[in-house]
Amino acid sequence: MNALPATTEQIYPILYSFRRCPYAMRARMAIAVAGLSVVLREIELSNKPEAMQAISPKGTVPVLLLPNGDVIEQSLEIMQWALAQHDPQNWLEPSPQDAQRLIEWNDGAFKHYLDRYKYADRYPEQTPADYRQQGEVFLAELETRLQRHKFLCGDTFSLADAATLPFIRQFAAVDNAWFESSPYPALQQWLDTFLRSNLFAAVMRKYPPWKVDDPLVLFGNEAGLVSF
């Protein structure tokens, strides 16, 4: 954790984040790999800070406040903002249209069934196994791709991998024993490699919830940490 003088906050973007949120996780991944630095404000979902809600009434993370006052409220837009400034590992290069299709599937239909699988007691219309089976359509697509290449859009880690991995991590964690015995060996290896990477360790560091007048915490500047 880097504690900074209060005046430093004015020259850095401010990122409101929540450690376990997959959307916030992928935003932090792009910021770290781009080698940028932001002031990190870890929030509590049950006690969202007024400063965040004042700039982003939607009340969800991540939210990025730029020094010029602009606000970026969507995780994918934060990723693209970071990588547009510096993309040392060429995350934006491999098959951008193909990557976009995968990310839309991940953020749409797959996230829909992930939520119902994870919180099946809130959605009694179907069983957890039913929701899992519907989510497996996406897993099967990823498995097919990973059988052909090391990563989702080819032989290099890209935006598609970074944007989907936090959600696959959540899906696997619902029933880890099932996932480990599931017929997706390439997907299992892909996820395990990510979970063992320096990049994952960097973006999953624990920070205390932010409070007004706390010392500033600088996050990022981790270019080159991803290693597969």
Residues 28, 18: Cα–Cα separation, whole Å: 10
Which CATH number is associated with domain 3-88+200-220?
A: 3.40.30.10
Least confident of 9-18, 59-68, 145-154, 202-211: 9-18
Topology of the domain comprising 96-197 = Glutathione S-transferase Yfyf (Class Pi); Chain A, domain 2 (1.20.1050)
pLDDT over 70 for what percent of the chain?
93
| Separation between Cα atoms, residue 45 and residue 24, nearest integer Å | 12
Domain range summary for the chain, segments of one domain joined by +: 3-88+200-220, 96-197
Say which residues have a Cβ less than 8 Å from residue 77's Cβ, sequence separation at least 6: none
The pTM score is 0.93
pLDDT of residue 1: 41
Q: pLDDT tens across 122-149, in order?
A: 999 999 999 999 999 999 999 999 999 9
Residues 6 or more apart whose CB falls under 8 angstroms from that of 181 comprise none
Residues belonging to the chain: 228
With H, G, I as helix, E, B as strand and everything else as coil, classify residue 102: helix
